[in-house]
Amino acid sequence: MKRPATYIDSVHRDGRIWNIGVMMALLLFPIVVALIFGASPDWKALALGLVATAPMYWAVGAIEAITFTPMLGAGGSYLSFVTGNISNLKLPCAINALEQNDASVNTEEGEIISTIAIATSSIVTTIIIIIGVICIVPLTPILEAPVLAPAFEQMLPALFGGLGVAFVSKNWKIAVAPVLLMLVLFIFVPALNAGTVGIMVPVSVVFTIVVSRILYTKGAL
């Protein structure tokens, strides 16, 4: 007898359908444009470029799926990987929503809360982008004013700082090691920058798990 479909079953079914659909739409767009305008890329140059860059993105994509899914839940993961900007926007929104509702993403309640938070974030982001496109010309002189430059540079640190304080204050023993590791790496390894965040997040997660396990076995947690 076939068991009745659960909420998680429906999430995986719909998530796969929409993710495959979006992937096909993204891949078809350049093909359609090429057909309409009768243009095609330099296939040799394209192949060389993919050989040089694609493996890195494949590795980062696989690592991010393993790293972010336990924090976002199934529904949140499907939605986040379609809409993008996970570490800077979707993940903080989901974590904050779960924190405010005292819920775990491993429960059905947490799954729903995380998905709603990420969906709301995506809608708000889209609306802001639309407003920004409409207002970009009249607002450009204001946004490019030198007096505002320091404020824009601190937006992401302020966002993650607020979230970090909440979690560090609860688990400061666990937080010390990864914070020190990232400070040392980004200070003394010049090659690391904002573009390497996708790789360094999983590294920090694995390092934190190892250190936490050691502290737990020694009775420090």
Residue 203 located in a structural domain: no
Residue 197 located in a structural domain: no
Mean pLDDT of 181-207: 76
Residue 98 located in a structural domain: yes
Confidence (pTM)? 0.64
Task: Give the pLDDT confidence score for residue 195 in this predicted structure.
Answer: 65
Residue 62 located in a structural domain: yes
pLDDT tens per residue across span 34-44: 889 888 888 88
- Number of structural domains (the chain) is 1
* Angle formed by the axes of helices 197-217 and 172-188, nearest 10°: 140
Residue 14 located in a structural domain: yes
Residue 82 located in a structural domain: yes
Confidence of residue 198 (pLDDT cuts 50, 70, 90): low
Residue 181 located in a structural domain: no
Task: Give the pLDDT confidence score for residue 87 in this predicted structure.
Answer: 76
**AA identity, residue 79:** L
Nearest Cα to 91, choosing from 75, 119, 71?
A: 71
For 141, the domain range is 7-170
Task: Give the pLDDT confidence score for residue 217 in this predicted structure.
Answer: 87
Q: What share of the chain is helix, strand, coil (3-state, %, to 5)?
A: 85, 0, 15
